[in-house]
């Protein structure tokens, strides 16, 4: 991958000879993949809702599918952002909404109920991945009540704070007498 970045380097700038290890974990890669998947699915739902409703035998729900498409796009962008955890939890919630909407179409008189069952299966699989990624990408910030080191002796003034204040006062006096 770094060979491409070497091509765009300004002439004379250091180029990568050997790449070091990445801190990206498999769960970060999964979050990224889910983010892009979410955007892709969202675009399809937003642009071609009729095709989806026809496949599922849920004609008349196009507006709902469009709204779900927007939701997928937003959750996808969030999953690709620094706050990917929030995006992934938004996706988990969205999976619940998807499942509920699909279940509402799983009626005896729906000739496409086989497709709905398949879609439910897919939503279940994706939801499991979303949940796993959300669990594994929790922010590593210490808890609010975690024990912290304090630095009460780090004033930065070798002559003490009073020394610093008196130096400032002397300068102010000198400037006053000058003016």
Radius of gyration of the chain (CA): 28
Which two structure tokens, joined as six digits, stand for 144?
A: 């609010």
Tally Cβ neighbours within 10 Å of residue 22: 9
> Binding to another protein by residue 26, rule CB under 8 A?
no
The stretch among 37-45, 53-61, 116-124, 164-172 that binds another protein (CB under 8 A) is: 164-172
Q: How far is CA 45 from CA 52, 62, 71, 110, 139, in A?
A: 7, 9, 10, 21, 31
CB of 91 to another protein, least distance (A): 13
Q: Three-state DSSP class for 49?
A: helix
Q: CB-wise, 17 or 100, nearer to another protein?
A: 17
> Binding to another protein by residue 109, rule CB under 8 A?
no
Query: Cα–Cα distance between 176 and 145 in angstroms, integer?
Result: 49
Please identify which residue in 63, 153, 177, 179 interacts with another protein, judged by CB under 8 A.
153
Please identify which residue in 26, 60, 108, 148 interacts with another protein, judged by CB under 8 A.
148
CB of 179 to another protein, least distance (A): 13
> Binding to another protein by residue 29, rule CB under 8 A?
no
Q: How far is CA 62 from CA 74, 103, 110, 134, 154, in A?
A: 19, 16, 17, 29, 63
Q: Classify burial at 91, counting beta carbons within 10 Å of its beta carbon; exposed 0-12, middle 13-18, buried 19 or more.
A: buried
Please identify which residue in 44, 67, 74, 118 interacts with another protein, judged by CB under 8 A.
74
Interface residues with another protein (CB under 8 A) are: 1-2, 4-6, 8-10, 12-24, 28, 74, 77-78, 81-83, 86-87, 139-142, 144, 148-159, 161, 163-165, 167-169, 171-172
């Amino acid at each position: 991958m770094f060979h491409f970045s070497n091509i765009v380097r300004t002439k004379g700038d250091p180029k990568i000879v050997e790449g070091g290890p990445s801190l990206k974990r498999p769960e970060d890669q999964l979050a990224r993949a889910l983010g892009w998947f979410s955007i892709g699915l969202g675009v399809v739902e937003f642009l071609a809702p009729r095709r989806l409703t026809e496949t599922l035998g849920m004609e008349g729900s196009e507006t709902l599918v469009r709204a779900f498409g927007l939701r997928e796009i937003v959750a996808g962008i969030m999953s690709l952002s620094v706050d990917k955890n929030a995006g992934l939890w938004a996706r988990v919630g969205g999976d619940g909404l998807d499942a509920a909407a699909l279940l509402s179409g799983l009626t005896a008189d729906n000739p496409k109920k086989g497709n709905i069952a398949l879609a439910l299966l897919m939503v279940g699989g994706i939801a499991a991945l979303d949940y796993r990624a959300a669990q594994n990408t929790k922010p590593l910030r210490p808890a609010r009540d975690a024990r912290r080191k304090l630095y009460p002796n780090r004033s930065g003034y070798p002559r003490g704070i009073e020394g610093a204040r008196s130096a400032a006062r002397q300068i102010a006096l000198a400037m006053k007498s000058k003016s």
